[in-house]
Amino acid sequence: MVSRVGTGVLVVLFLAGLWLVAAPFALRSQPARAGWAGITRVDVTVGGVLAAAGFLGLAGVIAGRVRELYADAASVASMMESPDSIRQGSPRTREFQGL
């Protein structure tokens, strides 16, 4: 539950970054053929950083989750293959024990 909330926060962060990049142009506070104002420059920079951070965070969360799923599946498969491995423990346990 808490992880889902955190993932949702990351999504909102990514969207907020996109909004910050697009806001000066969408609200027409930045003229089309003029140099960027200071506030526009700050908005675009911070928005880009936030969008990148949200995107990378989401990618990291999804990658970590997929990695855990793969590890669980591998441990279940190894336990189903040989009943001796039940006594020895899962691969994660063996990794923890330094075996």
Footprint of other proteins on this chain (CB under 8 A)? 2-3, 5-7, 9-10, 12-13, 16-17, 19-20, 23-24, 27, 29-30, 37-40, 42-43, 46, 49-50, 53-54, 56-65, 67-68, 71
Are 53 and 64 spatial neighbours (Cβ–Cβ below 8 Å)? no
For other proteins, which is the closer residue by CB, 57 or 80? Answer: 57
Smallest gap from Cβ 97 to other proteins, in A, equals: 13
For other proteins, which is the closer residue by CB, 3 or 82? Answer: 3
Q: Which amino acid is at 93?
A: T
**CA atoms within 13 Å, Cβ hemisphere of 49:** 5
Q: How far is CA 57 from CA 3, 19, 23, in A?
A: 13, 18, 23
- Rg from Cα positions in the chain: 23
Smallest gap from Cβ 22 to other proteins, in A, equals: 11
For other proteins, which is the closer residue by CB, 57 or 85? Answer: 57
